[in-house]
Every structure is written in C-alpha cells, then in structure tokens.
Structure 1
C-alpha cells in the first residue's frame, strides 16, 4: 500500500494513494501529480514515470510512496530532490525512520526521511568511490546519545542490505545525528552538531569546576543531557521556563550554592552560543541538574 509521510499540517501518515493525475514526469521512478483535492504531491514507484503523459491517472498499485509538495517553492525543491535521489535510498531512509519510530517514538515524517535519503545517497557514492570520510563528534555522539546511536548501528546493516552496498559502520554516527536533530530541530544535522558541541563543552566546564570525571553513560548524565536538550528546544521555540513568584531560584541557590556558581558559568557559555538570554528559572533548573550530576549529590 502506498503511504504518505507528512509533516504537521499536511496529511495523515499511512494514507493510501489517492487518484493521482500526472502533471510532470520527474524521472523513471517519480512524477509530480495532482490529487483529487487539488493538492500536489510527488509520487514514487519503480518505473512509475516511464512513458507517462500529462493528465494520465496513475495506477495506485504502482505508487509506493507519495510526498506532499507544499508551497510553490517547496514543490520545486521537492520535485528536484526526488528526481535526483535514487528510489532505493528513499526506501532505505523510510525503513530507518520506521525503525526509529519503534525504538525512539519519533514520528515518521518527510523532514526525517528526506534528509536521511540524501545522506544515504551520498554515503553510497562515497562507498563506491572508496572515499573515506571523517565523522565529526563521533566520541561525543557515542557518549551523549546512546539510544540514537543504537538505532544508527542497527540502521547501517539494514540500509546496506536494501542498497546492496556495504556501508561503513561509522555511518551509524551520522544517522544518529539525524535522529537527534529530528527530535529537537529541523531537517539535517546542523543544529544537532551545534548542540552536541555545546553539551561536550558543558561537561568539560563542570569537570574543571569540581575536579571530577563524569561518566557520560551514567543515569545522572543521561538525565542531565535530556534536560539540556529540552532547554535548547525551549530556547529555539521561545518558550523558556518562567515560574513567576515561586522563589525557585532562591531556594535552589540556598540548597546548592556551589552548583549555582557553576551554573552561572554555564549560563554565560550557553547565552553566548545560543545568542539569547536564559531566564532566571532556566538558570536555576540548570543549577539543580548540575547538583544532581555530581557524584556526591543525591540521585
């Protein structure tokens, strides 16, 4: 059954293919089509575009997937992208997204599938050309995102089988970054890379402040990372924590004075990196989580 993979505001995921009328053939496996409700979509399927003419209605059995075209600018970008990316890469990306949905609870959307497909297409080309590639922040990803990395490690042999290419195990790190970014930002890995660099720097500041070595894989470290990831997300959405009149900052300062001093340093660092000011309550919660992270702190 054909399926659409929408983002919020487009259409229901898992919908069967509507009657799609060809507007423009994009390639042997893709066509820009118009649905009965006037919505434009890009339909994919093996040999779907071969010999098609404008106005022809597609056989639903030939449509494997269809993607919502959106705005005129987005329509052209989507059409160009899906005309260039091999269908097998879209299939493999969809399989990875479905795996991530089961393991991480991520929604299966275009903004997850399409960047993954683009990455896989590049990875396949690199592999065939025997070109090594340095994966940035591999150690940090291993330490900070074990769940996403575990999915990435399962995704590499899955994609290798579907694409009939032996992808490097290092691709698991890049896939994990896409999954991290899908949870807290938009397509691609730019925000995830920035966030990972910031998380690593935060741990370094805490370790220097207290003269300790933090086990990045401990439950307390996992809690701390989760808090920071949601902090980044709240900042990006303009929804920082503000609890008027609760006296939160004063209470945490009294209970954890050393952690509060450290949180002040982290606040300065993060405000510079995020180019915004953190609310007092965000800083207070940051101090609380620093306190819980330290070995001598209560769990």
Structure 2
C-alpha cells in the first residue's frame, strides 16, 4: 500500500490521497522533506491513518485547510491522535473539523488578548472528568507547541469536543447536561438559601445523578423507587422542590419526569440541604 502526498502539515502529519479518498497520516517524521505528489509507503513509520469517509466532512476539512495555518492543523491532528491513544477508542470523524476549527479560532482570540468565559466549567469537569483530564493534556501540548497559555475555560470547551466525538457528534445533549445541571443547582441554592461547594463530593454526586437522570428521561427508562410515599412524608420541602425542578426539566427536554425520578431527586436535595445549610 502506498499513498500520494497532497499536503504536508508538519513533520508528523500529512494529508494524502488513496484510491480517491483523503486520509490523514500520523507518524514521527513521515512528512519531513515530502512535497505534493511524493509517495509514502505503508512501511514508512505510519502510526495512525485517519479517513474522512463522509463527503460533507471531507469538503469541510478542505475548506478548513484553505483558511487555517498548516502548523495549527498539524498540531490539532497530533492532539486528536493523543486523545484516541488516551481513550483507546475511535472518535467521530467530525472532530477533525470541529476541534481544529475551535482551536484555530481560540488561538487567534488569545493572541488578541480576547478570552471567552466558560460558565459551565465546573459542571463540565464534574460530568466528564475523564475527558477533562485528557483536555488538560491537550491544552498543555498546545501551550508547549504554540507558546500561548491556554486558560481553564478553554479546557472546558475542548472537553466538550472530546465528549461529543465519543458520542457520535451529539454536542447538543452534552451542552444541555451542563446547562441543566447548572440551572438546577442554582435553583436549589436560591430556594434553600444555601451555597453548594462546586469542589465537594456532594456536588459531584448530585451533578452525576442529574446527568444520568436526564439520560433515563430522554430514553424513556425508569428506575423504580419503592419509598416514594415515605420520601414524600419525610422530606416534604425537598420533595416539593424536586417537583419544581422536574417541571424545569420537562420544559427543557420536552419529556415527562415521573415520580420515581422526583423522589430520587428529593433524596439528593435533602442531602445537599443537610450538608450545606
């Protein structure tokens, strides 16, 4: 098997043509000294071959190449390879466009001293801790390569791109979990006049519960709670608050939240109430 070079992004990343399909090759030194049209053999230290099978993704990647610095694209492809190695799984091919475009735009903003605040940073780190740790490594790699400090807020955005690429490009749900979790916590704080420490174990437990609760509601699955009547009677205030939160969730995701979910939510609210009052 051999490939024809279309574009060299850096010494380690090359765009090639193989049988009419574009492929991105990663391997230490495979791009060194290569020019358009040069042949690269399969035995030439190729560590990873990325293929853009979707025609729209291939077209969007071509457009990205036209307005993005080659070194930035090469760096992002190395970062994507790093992400796949860390996760030991294949990612949705859209990440080659979405993450690269995001990082390229981020670098331009940071060079102009423009930083976008990330309102869901803590929620993102808590919900997607594994992806957040990998995103942190990616940020450090970008800093080392480009000599630009990457703020924590940007690590949160990179985390969302990684999580989305693991879940067939469903970014809307990823952002929705973070948004709804933040909304629910603030609603509880306002109604109980408490402050929930975003670094606490209670917060992590609650956010994780909300995440999986939303997934169950969206999928129409139910986890039965045999203690509903006991919870209603024992934790009256928390149950009433849980019912209000259930309405918020229903409005946002257009699905019915049953009493089983409400009662489990009430139990978590009661724990937050007792540990943060």
TM range (shorter): 0.7 to 0.9
Paired positions, count: 258
Q: Which of the residues 20, 27, 30 maps onto 2:7?
A: 27
Distance 2:32 2:170 in 1: 29
Q: Which of the residues 75, 80, 84 maps onto 1:88?
A: 75
Which residues of 2 match residues 124-203 of structure 1 at below 5 A? 124-128=107-111, 130-137=112-119, 140-142=120-122, 145-146=125-126, 147=129, 149=132, 151-161=134-144, 163-170=145-152, 171-181=154-164, 185-187=167-169, 190-203=172-185
Alignment of 1:234 onto 2:219: no
Deviations 1:24-57 (A, max 9, x none): x65332124249xxxx56232526983438xx77
Partner of 2:253: 274
Tell me, what secondary structure is at the counterpart of 1:187? coil
Root-mean-square deviation (Å): 3.6
Tell me, what secondary structure is at the counterpart of 2:18? strand
**Preserved contact between residue 97 and residue 112 of structure 1 (Cα < 8 Å):** no
Structure 1 residues 173 and 34: CA distance shift in structure 2, 3 A: same
CA positional deviation for 1:226: 0.6
Structure 1 residues 125 and 209: CA distance shift in structure 2, 3 A: closer
Tell me, what secondary structure is at the counterpart of 2:184? helix
CA positional deviation for 1:172: 2.2
Alignment of 1:52 onto 2:37: yes
Partner of 2:50: 67
Deviations 1:127-186 (A, max 9, x none): 44x25131331xx4136625455554443222222x333133243232233345456x55
CA positional deviation for 1:276: 2.0
TM-score, structure 2 as length reference: 0.73
Partner of 1:3: none
Partner of 1:283: 262
User: Mean Cα displacement is larger for which, 186-195 or 276-285?
Assistant: 186-195
Structure 1 residues 30 and 255: CA distance shift in structure 2, 3 A: same
**Preserved contact between residue 112 and residue 178 of structure 1 (Cα < 8 Å):** no
Give the number of the structure whose residues are more often helix, by fraction. Answer: 2
User: Mean Cα displacement is larger for which, 227-236 or 108-117?
Assistant: 108-117
Distance 1:74 1:143 in 2: 30
Partner of 2:206: 224
Alignment of 1:42 onto 2:10: no
Structure 1 runs not aligned, ≥5 long: 1-18
**Preserved contact between residue 94 and residue 169 of structure 2 (Cα < 8 Å):** yes
Moved runs in structure 1, 4+ residues, more than 6 A?
none
Tell me, what secondary structure is at the counterpart of 1:145? helix
TM-score, structure 1 as length reference: 0.69
Partner of 1:262: 241
CA positional deviation for 1:222: 0.6
User: Mean Cα displacement is larger for which, 112-121 or 74-83?
Assistant: 74-83
